[in-house]
Each structure stands twice: as structure tokens, then as C-alpha cells.
């Protein structure tokens, strides 16, 4: 269907399978009564059920929890956390500060893009390896088209989160999936080219999520609040400080290297509309 007919067909009503609030009586969440059936559900389990429509086992939910816990850094210097802290410092609101901090976490050199790109690469790599291609070739092709996200880190080459999350995955019996195996092999191939290209958190989390059956789109949603627990403390503490005292910038903090001072080119006359 093309043109406005598709819009006409969808005015005022929308078919849905995800749920509905029957305000005053009940709520439905993906085919279940939220209160009668799901009220005891772990919040994160409910979150991934909402994203995927699938139920996860107790060990799987514990692993998903650990993914968020191990990267919750209440460090106000980090760019996303700094947004939360600056919001508090200007006496803005928590919702504005935290939602903006989450929004900027959908970044290129950390957060959203590496997570999505990494799981997409690992899923495709596994499919190609299963079809008989050598992983070395898959990696070489990916490198020729650009970089492979999930390896290397902007501030430090070592990612201190990996042994902790890997340990939890091993304890839970969830560390031996095929995507995690591929991710480790890719690391070995990349480190042989450049020692700085160690696996980072995006690749590990993406590999473990791929082994739980996440698609790239599902991974994209799952990782949105991954840094959230570190943001709120930054906001809370900044709100306790005097206004404007979170990393204030003086004039001397501005390193200007643009054009020298010059006169604004006022038009010779308005009628001419030309500048001198």
C-alpha cells in the first residue's frame, strides 16, 4: 500500500501485541496480566521480556544483571555522567539530566554504537564461520572495510571489567557459547596485529548477549540503561554542592585558536546588500 491510504488506515486506532493499560482496572504486558501474572517478576527480567518477548532463566537474568552492575561507574568525569552532574549543578531536574546522559551514551567511541556494531559483527562472523569460512578472512575483510568495534579502548587498552563479568558468566555456566568463543578468537587475531586491540566490554557483553539469543536490535534496547546506575550518584552528589561548582571553566580554560580579532563586516548599504 502506497500513498496516504496507509495513513488513513491507521488513523485514531493502532493494533498492538505489546500491551494496554485498562486504566482503573488492569494492565496487559505482552499477553500477560501485569499484576495478576507478573507482579513478582524481577524488573530487569521484565525489561528484557518487554524487549524480546522471551522469558529468560534465573542464571541468564543474573548474568544480565551483572552486565549492568559491572559497568556502573559513578565517575562524574565520564562524558555521560558529567551531563548528569552538570544538570544537577545548574539545578535542573533528575529526569532531564539522566535522560540526556542516557541519550549521549548512544555514542560512537563508547556505548550504543560499539554495542550494536559488535553484536552485529559477531553474529555475522559466526554465521560465516559455520558456513565454512576462516575467521581470519572474516576479520581481514571487516578490517579492510573499517574498524571492528569491541576491541581497543579510548582511554586505556586494558578493560578491567572483563575478568569480573567473564568470571560470573563462567560461574553461571554461560561462558561457553559460540559467540563468546568467536569473540575471543577475534581478539587473538587482532592483538597479533596490534597489542592495543584487546577485547573491551562492548564485545564481551555483545558476545554473551548473542549467546542468549539477542538480535542486534534487541541488544540496542538492552544496553540503553547500562550506565544508568552510575549516573544518578553523580547527579545526587552534584546537587549537594554549591551551584556551578562541577568542573567550572574559567576564561583561561578556553584555548582559542581561531581567527584574530576583526571588524564585523557591516554592509556598505542595505540596498546594495553587499559587504565591503
Partner 1 sequence: MSPDLPTQRVHTRIWLEEPEPDNDFATRAAFCAGYDVYGQMLGRTRWAEMLYLLLRGEAPTWAQADLLEALSVALANPGPRDPAVHAAMGAGVGGSTPASALVAALAVGAGQSTGAREVWASMGMFASCGTSPGAWEKALSRPEPTPAGVWPQPTAGDHPAGFEAHGTRTGGIVLRTLDVLASMSPSHCLPWLRDNRESIERVAGRPVSMAGVAAAAFTDLGFTPDEGEMLHLLLRLPGAAAHALEQREVGHKNFPFFALDLQDDPRGAA
By CB under 8 A, is residue 260 in contact with partner 1? yes
By CB under 8 A, is residue 256 in contact with partner 1? yes
Count residues contacting partner 1 (CB under 8 A)? 60
By CB under 8 A, is residue 15 in contact with partner 1? yes
Q: Could you tell me which residues are beta bridge partners of residue 157?
A: none
DSSP 226: T
Q: How far apart are CA 191 and CA 230, in angstroms?
A: 30
For partner 1, which residue of 131, 155, 242, 249 counts as binding (CB under 8 A)? 249
Sheet holding 32-33, edge to edge: 19-22, 26-29, 32-33
Shortest spacing between CB 254 and partner 1, in angstroms: 5
By CB under 8 A, is residue 6 in contact with partner 1? yes
For partner 1, which residue of 16, 39, 40, 242 counts as binding (CB under 8 A)? 16
By CB under 8 A, is residue 33 in contact with partner 1? yes
By CB under 8 A, is residue 117 in contact with partner 1? yes
By CB under 8 A, is residue 264 in contact with partner 1? yes
150: left (phi over 0), alpha (psi -120 to 50) or beta: left
For partner 1, which residue of 48, 72, 92, 237 counts as binding (CB under 8 A)? 92
Contact region for partner 1 (CB under 8 A) — 12-20, 130-138, 150-158, 235-243? 12-20
By CB under 8 A, is residue 116 in contact with partner 1? yes
Pick between residue 32 and residue 62 the one whose CB is nearest to partner 1: 32
Q: Residues of 85-115 as b/e, b for ≥16 C-beta within 10 angstroms?
A: bbbbbeeeeeeebbebbbeebbeeebbbebb
Distances (CA, A) of 216 to 89, 200, 212: 36, 17, 12
DSSP 196: T
By CB under 8 A, is residue 12 in contact with partner 1? yes
Shortest spacing between CB 118 and partner 1, in angstroms: 9
Q: How far apart are CA 208 and CA 61, in angstroms?
A: 12
DSSP 120: H
Shortest spacing between CB 176 and partner 1, in angstroms: 25
- Decide: 210 and 218 in contact? Cβ < 8 Å: no
Virtual CA dihedral for 143, 148, 153, 157, nearest 10 degrees? -60
What values do phi and psi take at 217, rounded to 5? -65, -40
Q: Contact residues for partner 1 (CB under 8 A)?
A: 2-4, 6-7, 12-17, 19-20, 28, 30-33, 37, 92-93, 95-96, 99-100, 103, 106, 112-113, 116-117, 120-121, 145-146, 216, 220, 248-267, 273-275
Amino acid at each position: 500500500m502506497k500513498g496516504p491510504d496507509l495513513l488513513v488506515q491507521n488513523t485514531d486506532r493502532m493494533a498492538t501485541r505489546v500491551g494496554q493499560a485498562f486504566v482503573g482496572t488492569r494492565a496487559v504486558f505482552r499477553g500477560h496480566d501485569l499484576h495478576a501474572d507478573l507482579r513478582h517478576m524481577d524488573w530487569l527480567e521484565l525489561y528484557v521480556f518487554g524487549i524480546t518477548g522471551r522469558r529468560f532463566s534465573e542464571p541468564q537474568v543474573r548474568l544480565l544483571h551483572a552486565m549492568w552492575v559491572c559497568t556502573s561507574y559513578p565517575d562524574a568525569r565520564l562524558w555521560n555522567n558529567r551531563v548528569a552532574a552538570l544538570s544537577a549543578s545548574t539545578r535542573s531536574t533528575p529526569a532531564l539530566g539522566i535522560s540526556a546522559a542516557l541519550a549521549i551514551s548512544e555514542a560512537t567511541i563508547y556505548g550504543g554504537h560499539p554495542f550494536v556494531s559488535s553484536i552485529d559483527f559477531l553474529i555475522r562472523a559466526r554465521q560465516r564461520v559455520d558456513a565454512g569460512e576462516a575467521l581470519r578472512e572474516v576479520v581481514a575483510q571487516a578490517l579492510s572495510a573499517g574498524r571492528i568495534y569491541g576491541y581497543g579502548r579510548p582511554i586505556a587498552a586494558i578493560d578491567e571489567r572483563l575478568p569480573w563479568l567473564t568470571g560470573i558468566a563462567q560461574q553461571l555456566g554461560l561462558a561457553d557459547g559460540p559467540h563468546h568463543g568467536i569473540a575471543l578468537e577475534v581478539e587473538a587475531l587482532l592483538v597479533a596485529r596490534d597489542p592495543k586491540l584487546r577485547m573491551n566490554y562492548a564485545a564481551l557483553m555483545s558476545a554473551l548477549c548473542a549467546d542468549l539469543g539477542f538480535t542486534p536490535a534487541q541488544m540496542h534496547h538492552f544496553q540503553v540503561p547500562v550506565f544508568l546506575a552510575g549516573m544518578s550518584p553523580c547527579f545526587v552528589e552534584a546537587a549537594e554542592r554549591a551551584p556551578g561548582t562541577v568542573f567550572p571553566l574559567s576564561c583561561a580554560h578556553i584555548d582559542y585558536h581561531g581567527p584574530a580579532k576583526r571588524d564585523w563586516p557591516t554592509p556598505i548599504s542595505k540596498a546594495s546588500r553587499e559587504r565591503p
